[in-house]
């Protein structure tokens, strides 16, 4: 091992996936449909009435049948943690049943068995963009208050079943994304351009109450559980030194930070209430809601891929980006999908979150979506993904800097540690993994797994606790 590393002993190195992007088996084991089963184009196209064959998520990477082999591959890199989500519609197929589906629960017991076998600490997302389609269609998703009870019953079921085996839990993946992708993030069927601000912010409120309620329930039934919120971290810079641009940054930041503020402080910040007033929104907040919100989280987790600029000038155009597009930064390079690459932004946002909330951070997504080419090196099929190694190395160096700045950090999980179906575009060719999965955008491929060059690189990072960076 290396001599000096800023990473604390016990740092949780690992990788992350989501059920709908890996499992497939969309109609097996008693699973009901989720919104993802009718999203063949991700958020790049409209949902369909029924699942259609061109939807890569119906098969995913077949993790449902290959989980043991896949977890062994992750363990081969020395993973200390594995983030995965539970498919809500495996546990409550339509979402409104009184009793859970035992076959679904048993599947995640088997996944946890494999984690335990390899000494891997599970990190479980309760809801990762996979609302049961039944709830989306009957309630317009989180617009309806009824969702709080359905989610609470689901979360309680998970805490009761797995509470003794799972320590780290995330309530909602990227909870702030509901403002930008209401169907994927909030199961809201009403098209975004027809959704009133009142319905949209009421959905936000219901999710925030549900998240706090999950924390409250965990405190009762799974006292060892550590509950985290999960945000899209998107550091935003003013496009110019004009104070008007700095103010535009502040306002954009506020719309994201509000979600962390509620999770960590237990009440709505004044700037957010002002924003609602200016939108003409009067939220229905009950006295019980206010009490529930006071159950704050143990840690703050987030995804980080890129940063953005903001401008007060309405003629400046937005560019591509993870769920929320923003103004491109002229100083930064971008990925093939237009996501701007900014390792230093990760250090900045870690400092910002730590200073603001004083809760330990967990970086639960980071990575480069890129096209890979399977080649043969010394008779072995692999991918020479030096670009991915460079991206991850540069970002991890900045994580080390933030830790040296004093930011308490629990761990780091790369996104899509094994190739999976992308969320925004539903492609397999947008690959993030250390492990290549032979499946193409047209659905062809053997589903065989191959280790990429980055596999050995990451194993060395973990072995040296970051000393090799
Ligand atoms: C995050 C999501 O927004 O970004 C993941 O939590 C997603 O589900 C990841 O896969 C990367 O985005 P994409 O669109 O490249 O898959």
> What's the pLDDT tens digit per position in 127-142?
999 999 999 999 999 9
Q: Are strands 236-238 and 168-172 parallel, antiparallel or unpaired?
A: unpaired
d(CA 86, CA 81): 16
184 lines ligand 1 (CB under 6 A): no
Distance 288 CA to ligand 1 centre (A): 34
Residue 324 pLDDT more than 90?
no
Q: Which residue has the tokens 């003629």?
A: 315
pLDDT digits (tens, 9 = 90+) for 154-208: 999 999 999 999 999 999 999 999 999 999 999 999 999 999 999 999 999 999 9
Cβ pair 38, 400 in contact under 8 A: no
430 lines ligand 1 (CB under 6 A): yes
Residue 82, token pair as written in the block: 């594995």
- How do the domains of the chain map onto residue ranges? 12-463
Measured by CA distance, the residue closest to atom 8 of ligand 1 is 423
Q: What share of the chain is helix, strand, coil (3-state, %, to 5)?
A: 40, 15, 45
**pTM (2 decimals)?**
0.98
**Looking at the DSSP assignment, which residues form a beta bridge with residue 449?**
437
Percentage of residues of the chain with pLDDT beyond 70 = 99
Averaged pLDDT, 324-332: 87
209 lines ligand 1 (CB under 6 A): no
Please, what sign has the CA dihedral across residues 347, 353, 356, 362? negative
Is-catalytic flag, 373?
no
Distance 85 CA to ligand 1 centre (A): 13
Residue 98 pLDDT more than 90?
yes
Residue 325 pLDDT more than 80?
no
Q: Which architecture characterizes domain 12-463 according to CATH?
A: Alpha-Beta Barrel (3.20)
Residue 63, token pair as written in the block: 């993790």
pLDDT digits (tens, 9 = 90+) for 434-451: 999 999 999 999 999 999
Distance 178 CA to ligand 1 centre (A): 14
The CA-based angle 305-90-45, given to 5 degrees, is 50
Measured by CA distance, the residue closest to atom 3 of ligand 1 is 322
Catalytic: which of 365, 373, 408, 460? 365
What pLDDT score was predicted for residue 60?
Answer: 98
Distance 423 CA to ligand 1 centre (A): 5
Q: How confident is the model at residue 319 (pLDDT cuts 50, 70, 90)?
A: confident
Per DSSP, 417 falls in state S
Q: How confident is the model at residue 2 (pLDDT cuts 50, 70, 90)?
A: very low
d(CA 91, CA 459): 34
369 lines ligand 1 (CB under 6 A): yes
d(CA 361, CA 85): 19
Helix (H, G, I), strand (E, B) or coil at 50: coil
Q: Write out the H or E segment, with its range, that includes residue 455.
A: helix 453-463
Q: Which of 303, 368, 372, 388 to mutate to test the pocket of ligand 1 (most atoms within 8 A of CB)?
A: 303
Residue 287, token pair as written in the block: 């006295």
Measured by CA distance, the residue closest to atom 15 of ligand 1 is 422
Cβ pair 87, 67 in contact under 8 A: no
Name every residue whose Cβ is closer than 8 Å to that of residue 156 and which is 6 or more positions away in sequence: 217, 221
What pLDDT score was predicted for residue 440?
Answer: 98
Please report, for residues 199, 254, 357, 362, the alpha-carbon distance to residue 271 in angstroms, rounded to integers and kept in the order given. 19, 7, 17, 26
Q: Which atom of ligand 1 is nearest to the CA of 174?
A: 6
Cβ pair 340, 237 in contact under 8 A: no
Measured by CA distance, the residue closest to atom 5 of ligand 1 is 423
Measured by CA distance, the residue closest to atom 2 of ligand 1 is 423
pLDDT digits (tens, 9 = 90+) for 24-81: 999 999 999 999 999 999 999 999 999 999 999 999 999 999 999 999 999 999 999 9
Q: What value does the mean pLDDT of the chain take?
A: 97
């Amino acid at each position: 091992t290396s001599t000096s590393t800023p990473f604390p002993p016990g740092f949780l190195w690992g990788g992350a996936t989501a059920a709908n992007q890996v499992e497939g088996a969309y109609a097996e084991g008693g699973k009901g449909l989720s919104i993802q089963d009718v999203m063949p184009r991700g958020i790049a196209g409209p949902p369909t009435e029924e699942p259609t064959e061109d939807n890569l998520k119906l098969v995913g990477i077949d993790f449902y049948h290959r989980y043991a082999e896949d977890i062994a591959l992750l363990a081969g890199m020395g993973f200390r943690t594995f983030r995965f989500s539970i498919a809500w519609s495996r546990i409550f197929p339509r979402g409104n049943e009184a009793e859970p589906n035992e076959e679904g629960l048993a599947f995640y017991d088997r996944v946890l068995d494999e984690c335990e076998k390899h000494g891997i600490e599970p990190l479980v997302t309760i809801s990762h963009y996979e609302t049961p389609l039944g709830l989306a269609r009957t309630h317009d998703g989180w617009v309806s208050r009824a969702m709080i009870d359905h989610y609470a019953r689901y979360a309680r079921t998970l805490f009761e079943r797995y509470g003794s085996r799972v320590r780290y839990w995330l309530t909602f993946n990227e909870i702030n994304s509901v403002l930008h992708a209401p169907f994927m993030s909030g199961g809201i069927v009403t098209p975004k351009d027809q959704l009133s601000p009142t319905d949209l912010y009421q959905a936000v409120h219901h999710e925030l109450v549900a998240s706090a309620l999950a924390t409250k329930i965990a405190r009762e039934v799974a006292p060892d559980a550590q509950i985290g919120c999960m945000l899209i971290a998107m550091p935003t810079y003013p496009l110019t030194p004009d104070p008007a641009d700095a103010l535009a940054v502040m306002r954009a930041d506020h719309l994201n930070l509000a979600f962390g503020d509620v999770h960590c402080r237990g009440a709505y910040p004044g700037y957010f209430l002002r924003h609602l007033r200016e939108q003409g929104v009067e939220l229905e907040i009950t006295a019980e809601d206010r009490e529930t919100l006071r159950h704050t989280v143990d840690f703050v987790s987030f995804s980080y891929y890129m940063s953005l600029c903001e401008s007060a000038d309405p003629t400046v155009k937005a560019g591509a980006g993870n769920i929320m597009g923003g103004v491109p930064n002229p100083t930064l390079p971008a990925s093939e999908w237009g996501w701007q690459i900014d390792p230093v932004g990760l250090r900045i946002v870690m400092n910002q979150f730590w200073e603001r909330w004083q809760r330990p951070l967990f970086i639960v997504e980071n990575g480069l979506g890129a096209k890979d080419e399977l080649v043969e090196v010394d008779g072995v099929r692999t991918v020479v993904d030096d670009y991915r190694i460079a991206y991850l190395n540069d970002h991890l160096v900045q994580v080390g800097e933030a830790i040296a700045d004093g930011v308490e950090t629990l761990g780091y999980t790369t996104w899509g540690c094994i190739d999976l179906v992308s969320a925004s575009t539903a492609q397999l060719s947008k690959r993030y993994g250390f492990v290549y999965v032979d499946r193409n955008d047209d659905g062809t491929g053997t589903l065989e797994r191959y280790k990429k060059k980055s596999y050995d690189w990451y194993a060395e990072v973990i072995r040296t606790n970051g000393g090799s960076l």
